[in-house]
């Protein structure tokens, strides 16, 4: 009997070792900006830390980070980072990692995730609530046993499992009272003057309850979109533009999905402002001023990603239908 029990125990352990970590996830970050970025990663309270909290990612490079089941947290890309030769202090122009572990110093474009949450779903979004510093795209990838949004039996997965992000270079088009500038000599390829490197949120710029959704404005019924949040929403319809922008900005996939995060998905140059005016939807007129395009035009890149994903889903559905005949 003892020998039989031991045999059962060994078989059980072997089966556990063979089972895939279906509820964990892998984040693959790719830098399509024309310059090095420094991704920052922050784990939420009560969740296991990741293997790294930040690293350098050169132009064209990719790096993967594994996250355990039920992980939650956020990711962003720091820009214009360097070590001061005098003090030896490492600092960044945008998205600096705060020393107290509080996350990204605004303004910064954020990717936010909660893995294996309510109903066994992953929840994710791209947020501009804390401002913006560069374009970002999240695309759900092949999951264990199938494709993102498709269950292993071929049926459609629950939730809004689709690409989201902000494909637009908003820095040059940012309203003057939200714009963050630095001497052009410190930006990519700068040769004088100043360049826009980030776009603040109205909350950070003005610090009022109306813009920060606090105090008397601390509920969905009292905190409404502002002219400033509409600037972000028109350009990036799927990204969070203010605190209660949930209905059009939160996306879900079946737990176990992996995710590709691309910085500057539509940008091929590292130049800022007028140095790369055609990057991701911000065009320059003949007199050098910036022209802002509407949301439908700016959403074309995300739509093409979704269209390719839809074609793949249809192909898989057809294959499953044929198999059932």
- Domain ranges within the chain, ordered by starting residue: 24-316
Cα–Cα distance, 219 to 216 (Å, whole number): 8
pLDDT of 153 higher than 50: no
Cα–Cα distance, 260 to 163 (Å, whole number): 10
More confident residue, 229 or 325: 229
| Mean pLDDT rounded to a whole number for the chain | 74
More confident residue, 311 or 213: 213
Task: Identify which of 188, 209, 178, 323 has the alpha carbon closest to the alpha carbon of residue 268.
Answer: 188
Is-contact 304 310, C-beta < 8 A?
Answer: no
pLDDT of 221 higher than 90: yes
Q: What pLDDT is stored for residue 200 in this prediction? A: 96
Cα–Cα distance, 115 to 72 (Å, whole number): 6
Percentage of the chain lying above the pLDDT 90 cut:
51
Domain 24-316 has CATH 3.30.1490.20: no
Q: What pLDDT is stored for residue 92 in this prediction? A: 84
Is-contact 222 118, C-beta < 8 A?
Answer: no
Tokens read off for 287: 């007199």
* SS3 of residue 125 by DSSP: strand
Half-sphere exposure of 39 (CA within 13 A, CB side): 29
Q: What pLDDT is stored for residue 176 in this prediction? A: 95
Percentage of the chain lying above the pLDDT 70 cut:
64
pLDDT band at 283 (very low <50, low <70, confident <90, very high): very low
Q: Tens digit of pLDDT for each residue in 57-89?
A: 999 999 999 999 899 999 999 998 888 888 878
Tokens read off for 170: 């908003």
Lowest mean pLDDT across 35-39, 152-156, 163-167, 291-295: 291-295
Distance of CA 195 to the CA centre of its chain: 24
> What is the average per-residue pLDDT within 218-239?
95
pLDDT of 33 higher than 90: yes
Task: Count other Cβ atoms within 10 Å, centred on residue 188.
Answer: 19
> What is the average per-residue pLDDT within 252-275?
71
pLDDT band at 277 (very low <50, low <70, confident <90, very high): very low
Q: What pLDDT is stored for residue 105 in this prediction? A: 84
pLDDT band at 289 (very low <50, low <70, confident <90, very high): very low
- Alpha helices, H only, 72-184: none
Q: Is 91 left (phi over 0), alpha (psi -120 to 50) or beta?
A: beta
């Amino acid at each position: 009997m003892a020998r039989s029990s031991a045999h059962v125990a060994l078989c059980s352990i072997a089966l556990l070792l063979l089972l895939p970590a279906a509820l964990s996830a892998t984040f693959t970050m790719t830098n399509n900006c024309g310059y090095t970025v420094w991704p920052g990663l922050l784990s939420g309270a009560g969740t296991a830390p990741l293997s790294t909290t930040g690293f350098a990612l050169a132009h064209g490079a990719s790096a993967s980070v594994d996250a355990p089941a039920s992980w939650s947290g956020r990711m962003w890309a720091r820009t214009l980072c360097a070590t001061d030769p005098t003090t030896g202090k490492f600092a960044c122009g945008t998205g600096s990692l705060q020393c107290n572990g509080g996350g990204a110093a605004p303004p910064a474009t954020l990717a936010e995730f909660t893995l294996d949450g309510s109903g066994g779903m992953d929840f994710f979004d791209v947020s501009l609530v804390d401002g913006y510093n560069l374009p970002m795209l999240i695309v759900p990838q092949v999951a264990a046993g199938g494709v993102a949004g498709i269950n292993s039996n071929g049926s459609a997965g629950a939730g809004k499992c689709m690409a989201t992000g902000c494909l637009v270079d908003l820095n040059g088009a940012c309203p003057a009272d939200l714009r963050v500038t630095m001497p052009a000599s410190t930006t990519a390829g700068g040769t004088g003057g100043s360049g826009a490197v980030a776009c603040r949120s109205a909350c950070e710029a003005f610090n009022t309850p109306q813009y920060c959704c606090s105090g008397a404005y601390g509920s969905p019924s009292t905190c409404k979109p502002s002219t400033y949040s509409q600037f972000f929403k028109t350009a990036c319809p799927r990204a969070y533009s203010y605190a209660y922008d949930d209905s059009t900005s939160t996306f879900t996939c079946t737990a176990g999905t992996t995710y590709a995060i691309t910085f500057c998905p539509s940008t091929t140059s590292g130049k800022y402002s007028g140095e790369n005016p055609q990057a991701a939807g911000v065009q320059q007129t003949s007199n050098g001023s910036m022209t802002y395009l509407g949301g439908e035009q700016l959403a074309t890149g995300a739509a093409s990603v979704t269209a390719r994903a839809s074609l793949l889903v249809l192909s898989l559905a057809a294959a499953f239908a044929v198999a059932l005949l």
